[in-house]
Structure 1
Amino acid sequence: MKWMIPVLMVGFVLLVMAWRAGAGTLSEAEARAHLAKGAVLLDVRTPEEFRERSLPGAINLPLATLGQSITNRLPDKQQVVLLHCRSGARSASAEKALRALGYTNAFNLGSFSQAEKVVRGNAP
């Protein structure tokens, strides 16, 4: 019986963490709808990675320079911004940074392949 309270507390903490992690996520359909309405597709990989392969319509603003360049490139902080990178880690950091700067509609699409599914559908 002593173990029940700690187990319930851990379960509650995990539930809250899972809920918070999913708060800024979009389904593929929602992301496509935003793109159709003019959302900005932001690639936060390096310029070299962007030159090697990029998605149609994507803007390259590397994570390392995002804080200095974002307000010049995207002055409207209400604009929907869909972020991606190679694996999803940098775009997750970029989402947090943009939200801290007041961009309330920034969403992490995740990896390049996940963003590619949104932009191109299931076609490679």
Structure 2
Amino acid sequence: MPDITPTELKQRQAAGEQPTIIDVRETWENEEGRIEGSQNIPLGTLPQKLDELEELKEQEIIVHCKGGGRSASAKAFLTQQGFTNVRNLIGGFQAYQQG
């Protein structure tokens, strides 16, 4: 799946869509600011949360971190686990805030 830009995500949210967004930053980073509707699953805990995400295997999941690096790792990991529609938020939370 191609990655998603902050602009595209904001347009979809403004249109009333509520995509599944997973914030893979650490909890303290999430507490400083977050994308509305996102759930926080720090990258290091993602393997332990797979069972909770199982029903999303065929659905779109947007992953993000601060700048895009950790979420790229999360996308690769989830794809390896059989998730078919994982997209990385280009530029991460920083780009989302600035856009």
TM-score, length-scaled by structure 1: 0.65
Q: 1:104 aligns with which of 57, 70, 84?
A: 84
Q: Deviation string for 1:43-93 (max 9, x for gaps)?
A: 000111111211211100010010110331452201111111012100000
Does residue 38 (structure 1) correspond to residue 18 (structure 2)? The answer is: yes
Question: Which amino acid is 2:76 matched to?
Answer: K
Q: 2:96 aligns with which of 99, 112, 115?
A: 115
**Larger Rg over CA atoms:** 1
State the 4+ residue runs in structure 1 displaced beyond 4 angstroms. none
Equivalent pair of 1:83/1:109 in contact (CA under 8 Å): yes
Equivalent pair of 1:39/1:79 in contact (CA under 8 Å): no
Structure 2 partner of 1:84: 64
**Alignment CA distance shift 1:82-1:92 (3 Å):** same
Q: SS state of the match for residue 44, structure 2?
A: helix
Does residue 25 (structure 1) correspond to residue 6 (structure 2)? The answer is: no
Structure 2: any 5+ residue segments left out of the alignment? none
**Alignment CA distance shift 1:76-1:57 (3 Å):** same
**Alignment CA distance shift 1:71-1:95 (3 Å):** same
Give the RMSD, CA atoms, in angstroms. 2.2
> Quick one: higher RCO (CA 8 Å, sep 6+), 1 or 2?
2
Q: SS state of the match for residue 91, structure 1?
A: helix
Count of residue correspondences: 95
Structure 1: any 5+ residue segments left out of the alignment? 1-22
TM-score, length-scaled by structure 2: 0.79
Question: Which amino acid is 1:33 matched to?
Answer: R
**Identity rate of aligned residues, in percent?**
31
